[in-house]
A = this chain, B = another copy of it.
């Protein structure tokens, strides 16, 4: 064998700098199936702050929106950081905020003894770890025929991630408890706001019901490493069961409040508006996730499958309720077969991986999956139409066509 570093095509060095070189190294040494099997002409390079990711497994929509390719989702339940999607509402802060992670300061309000806490202090207050589906509110938007504005995500604005940090309720207790009458937990992101505009129109600030505090974390670690800048490090508010936007990156303020935030991203953004309409505070906010599943393989990489035995696999989750069962259809929803859960159960907020063992003859097949949660909610056939293209859990939209040759 050769221990030499492979020679790198010069165009890679020119095209994308360190990011492209890192991705090339990954591909050569077997870190990516996609790299080895289906070279992908990435339309846009990864943004520098995410240059450590596996470019071959991702669709780069923009410098703040990056999606995991469907066939890249593996069967190991936890989504590795290199594959995880990115959705930043604003450009991330400068990486200098990671120079001394423990010095990061969180302001806490709406408690009886409010005071700022450093990340170092937070680490002393408690430790918990949760496995959680992190999913963008607009995941599946790409399947809306109405083409709502926003990133046309397919399945890949989601992942199952391990977070470690201190439970929010312990932080509140350490500061005397939540002040009476506070109905919301409001987190404010630490992004640098553009100059010359009303901060309320751009700040990333979201409110969730205080009930969500029960399982919420102030997290400093993701998947075994300090949270990368792309995912909200040094400190992120984690609200299991709630869509991505509610999990505030670079969280600098945690406030228990009587009212929802009046930031535009809360009052008008992420609302379930009627088709053609605009968001306003009277409409339901996009917060809790609902039961959903999709099939990840095999045959989703665009290459024909070989006829014979296959293991049809995917992921399923229930939002606030654990997922109870998954059915799989090989004929676009005409008939259904009970799938089997595979691997350990990582808890109520994680996704389960499911599999259906079957044999496929030569032909074309539309594979679909339909999950049911423990509360009896069934993943619907039809999406709930809305102007923003949010919360798409339609099993029909998420069906995938594969060719068996």
Q: Is the CB of A47 within 8 A of B3?
A: yes
Binary B-proximity of A42-71 (CB < 8 A = 1, otherwise 0):
000001111110100000000100000000
A76 to B357, CA, bound (A): 31
Say yes or no: is A32 at the interface (Cβ < 8 Å to chain B). yes
Q: Which of B4, B50, B192, B310 contacts A1 (CB 8 A)?
A: B192
Output the least CB separation between A129 and chain B (Å). Answer: 3
B162 & A311 in contact (Cβ 8 Å cutoff): no
Q: Which of A19, A120, A346 counts the most chain B CB atoms within 10 A?
A: A346
Mark interface residues in A96-107 (1 if CB within 8 Å of B CB, else 0). 001111000000
Q: Shortest CB–CB separation between residue A345 and chain B, in angstroms?
A: 8
Cβ-defined contact, B343 with A130, below 8 A = yes
The listed residue (B36, B76, B80, B91) touching A99 by CB distance below 8 A is B36
The verdict on A221 contacting chain B, using a C-beta distance below 8 Å, is yes
CA of A33 to CA of B230, assembled, Å: 15
CB-contact partner of A29 in B17, B50, B74, B131, under 8 A = B50
The smallest beta-carbon distance between A397 and chain B, in angstroms, is: 24
Shortest Cβ distance from A5 into B: residue: B17
In the complex, whether A396 has a CB less than 8 A from a CB of chain B is: no
Task: Chain B residues near A8: list those with CB within 8 A.
Answer: 18
CA distance A51 to B229 in the complex (A): 22
Contact flag A74-B221 (CB < 8 Å), given A2-B94, A48-B4, A346-B344? yes
Cβ-defined partner of A124 (8 Å) among B29, B76, B131, B311: B311
A202 CA to B325 CA, complexed, in Å: 49
A164 x B76 contact (CB < 8 A): yes
Counting chain B CB atoms within 10 Å of each CB, the highest count among A77, A99, A347 belongs to A77
Residue from A8, A49, A125, A344 having most chain B Cβ neighbours under 10 A: A344
**Are B95 and A51 closer than 8 Å at their CB atoms?**
no
Q: A355 contacts which of B17, B77, B127, B227 (Cβ < 8 Å)?
A: B127
Assembly CA distance A198 to B94 (angstroms): 58
Can you give 24 contacting A-B residue pairs, CB < 8 Å? A1-B94, A3-B47, A3-B48, A5-B17, A5-B18, A18-B22, A21-B25, A25-B52, A29-B50, A29-B52, A29-B230, A31-B225, A31-B226, A31-B228, A33-B225, A37-B101, A77-B224, A78-B162, A83-B224, A124-B310, A127-B355, A128-B343, A130-B344, A344-B346
Closest 8 pairs (CB-CB, A-B):
A129-B343, A124-B309, A76-B162, A74-B224, A30-B98, A75-B164, A22-B22, A76-B224
Known: A76-B163, A76-B223; 13 extra A-B contacts, CB below 8 A, are: A18-B24, A26-B52, A29-B49, A29-B230, A30-B95, A30-B230, A32-B225, A73-B224, A75-B129, A121-B309, A127-B357, A164-B343, A344-B346
